[in-house]
Homo-oligomer: A and B are copies of this chain.
Amino acid sequence: MGTVSIKDVARLAGVSIATVSRAVNEPDRVRRETRERVQDAIRQTGYAPNSLARSFRRGRTQVIMVVLPSVGDPFFTEVMRGVRAVAAREGYSLLINETQFNTLTADEIGAMVVSRQADGIILLASLSPFGTRVLSAENRRALPMVIGCETIAPELSEIPGIHIDNVAAAREATAYLQDLGHRRIAFMYGEHATLLTADREAGYRQAMDAAALPVHPDWIVEGQLSIEGAIAATSRLLDLPERPTAIFCANDEMAMGCMHALKTAGLAVPRDVSVVGFDDTRYARITDPPLTTVRQPARLIGERVMERLLLEIGATDADDAGVEILPHELIIRASAAPPSER
């Protein structure tokens, strides 16, 4: 009474295994009477198709591999919600790998690619250190791929991508601080997700240049893309002789750490220092003070990425490898204000 296979059902229903298979997969192609007989047999035996055999035979796993920096980040959580929704609807499962914690090495990802453990891959993190190998031309042909959130490295420009205009968004956020009257504006980013924050840094620099404001090298601080990293980076900023009056953080998680560090240093936000974040995670509106930040349509990004991937999987070469730019929005709350007179 081990596992029941298609043969058992066929025997009980008095048909061939081919008919059972058809009754399961293309019910219209089998006579109603027979179909019902098969369904009865399935019910009686408790048969469920062996998905291992099915995957093997079909050459498809119905699994999508997702590579992202950290599932813990509320922003990516939201992106994943979108991915998951579409995936579930289309019958796909998700295999998740966090680069931040090196679950898989580059080689292992490459191996998964060629060994067909997944039908497609979603990259929400840049794979800069080893991008070329994993994303070699052959691999790309072998496995449909879409890049989300990240700007795409030039050498991978033929891979479809979906993200906001990070440069413009960062430029606007910085300009907002300038409009409030800030001149000494710092930029805080994380060492991981390099490509992504590179764009935001570029936007920051563009805005500073446009306003003819100097960018002191010490104002650009690198932490981890985490609370702890932000706390450390903030204290470095506070030790500076010429202390910035505003800090633009590469994501909300860092902004939260930054605000905490400022408060524990006895500074008030935004009275003494203004803080602006990026992402508009669910925590942004309940920080104290509520965080002014750049909203990304996280869920939508996830949905579009997954839909795009399905398109790649379906069509043999749907090679309009275009990049889709989604809208962003500066959400003004209370963590940024004009600098105090001095």
Instruction: Show the binding face of A for B, using Cβ within 8 Å.
Output: 3, 46, 48-53, 55-56, 59, 61, 63, 71-72, 74, 77-78, 80-81, 84-85, 88, 93-96, 98, 101, 103-104, 111-112, 114-117, 142, 227, 256-257, 259-260, 263, 282-283, 286-288
Give the CA-CA distance A142 to B72 in the complex, in Å: 32
- Pair B117/A51 contact, Cβ less than 8 Å: yes
A286: which B residues are within 8 A, CB to CB? Answer: 227, 256-257, 259-260
Give the CA-CA distance A188 to B195 in the complex, in Å: 42
A74: which B residues are within 8 A, CB to CB? Answer: 72
Q: Could you say which of A53, A93, A257 has the most chain B C-beta atoms within 10 Å of its C-beta?
A: A93
A95: which B residues are within 8 A, CB to CB? Answer: 63, 93-95
Give the CA-CA distance A280 to B274 in the complex, in Å: 28
Q: How many copies does the complex hold?
A: 2
- Pair A256/B227 contact, Cβ less than 8 Å: no
Task: Assess A84 versus B111: contact at CB under 8 Å? Given A72-B74, A256-B283, A260-B286.
Answer: no
Task: Assess A98 versus B84: contact at CB under 8 Å? Given A55-B52, A59-B52.
Answer: yes
29 pairs from A and B in contact (CB 8 Å cutoff): A3-B142, A48-B114, A48-B115, A50-B116, A51-B112, A51-B115, A51-B116, A52-B52, A52-B61, A55-B55, A63-B95, A71-B77, A72-B74, A72-B78, A72-B81, A84-B98, A84-B101, A84-B103, A88-B103, A88-B104, A93-B95, A93-B117, A95-B95, A227-B286, A256-B286, A257-B286, A259-B286, A260-B286, A263-B288
Q: Could you say which of A61, A104, A257 has the most chain B C-beta atoms within 10 Å of its C-beta?
A: A61
Give the CA-CA distance A285 to B321 in the complex, in Å: 45
Give the CA-CA distance A114 to B282 in the complex, in Å: 37
A96: which B residues are within 8 A, CB to CB? Answer: 94, 96
CB of A52 to closest CB in B, whole Å: 4
CB of A331 to closest CB in B, whole Å: 16
Q: Name A115's contact: one of B50, B80, B114, B117 (CB within 8 Å).
A: B50
- Pair B52/A282 contact, Cβ less than 8 Å: no
Closest chain B residue to A84, Cβ basis: B103
CB of A266 to closest CB in B, whole Å: 13
A282: which B residues are within 8 A, CB to CB? Answer: 72, 227
Closest chain B residue to A53, Cβ basis: B56
- Pair B115/A49 contact, Cβ less than 8 Å: yes
CB of A221 to closest CB in B, whole Å: 18
Closest chain B residue to A87, Cβ basis: B103
Closest chain B residue to A108, Cβ basis: B88
Closest chain B residue to A93, Cβ basis: B95
CB of A54 to closest CB in B, whole Å: 8
Give the CA-CA distance A31 to B205 in the complex, in Å: 62
A112: which B residues are within 8 A, CB to CB? Answer: 51
Give the CA-CA distance A316 to B331 in the complex, in Å: 56
Closest chain B residue to A290, Cβ basis: B260
A46: which B residues are within 8 A, CB to CB? Answer: 114
What 17 additional pairs, Cβ within 8 angstroms, besides A84-B98, A227-B286? Answer: A48-B111, A48-B114, A51-B112, A51-B117, A52-B52, A52-B56, A52-B61, A55-B56, A63-B95, A72-B81, A81-B101, A88-B104, A95-B95, A227-B282, A227-B283, A263-B288, A287-B288
